[in-house]
């Protein structure tokens, strides 16, 4: 029997150029994420990916932005993270 890869998808609303990078709770279904990085040359996207990699203790290569590369509303996918654990990890 083959193992099914576990992936979590997280809707995120980002606010670049904040004073510090921090998670600010939820706005509807999406998590509000303030990023210290500017939205220039992919810096905000990289900061978003690094934030989730650190929070879920996975390598940066396990995190990717599925939708919203150029906008504030994004969908982040993380390999190796159980979707049921997302609420618990992000709300702690």
Is 15 buried (19+), middle (13-18) or exposed (0-12) by CB count in 10 A? Answer: middle
Q: Are 46 and 64 in contact (CB under 8 A)?
A: no
Q: What is the distance between the alpha carbons of residues 26 and 28, in angstroms, rounded to a whole number? A: 6
Domain 7-90 is of which CATH architecture? 2-Layer Sandwich (3.30)
User: Is the pTM for the entire model greater than 0.85?
Assistant: yes
More confident residue, 1 or 33: 33
SS (H, E, C) 12-24: EEEECCCCCCEEE
Q: What is the pLDDT of residues 7-23, one digit of tens each?
A: 999 999 999 999 999 99
Distance, in Å, from the CA atom of 77 to the CA atom of 65, rounded to the nearest integer, reads 6
pLDDT of residue 92: 77
- Tens of pLDDT, residue by residue over 14-51, are 999 999 999 999 989 999 999 999 999 999 999 999 99
């Amino acid at each position: 029997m083959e193992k099914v890869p576990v992936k979590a998808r997280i809707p995120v609303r980002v606010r670049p150029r904040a004073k510090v990078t921090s998670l600010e709770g939820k706005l509807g279904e999406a998590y509000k994420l303030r990023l210290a990085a500017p939205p220039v040359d992919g810096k905000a996207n990289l900061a978003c990916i690094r934030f989730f990699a650190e929070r879920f203790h996975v390598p940066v290569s396990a995190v990717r932005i599925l939708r919203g590369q150029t906008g504030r509303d994004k969908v982040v996918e993380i390999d190796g993270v159980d979707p049921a654990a997302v609420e618990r990890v992000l709300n702690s």
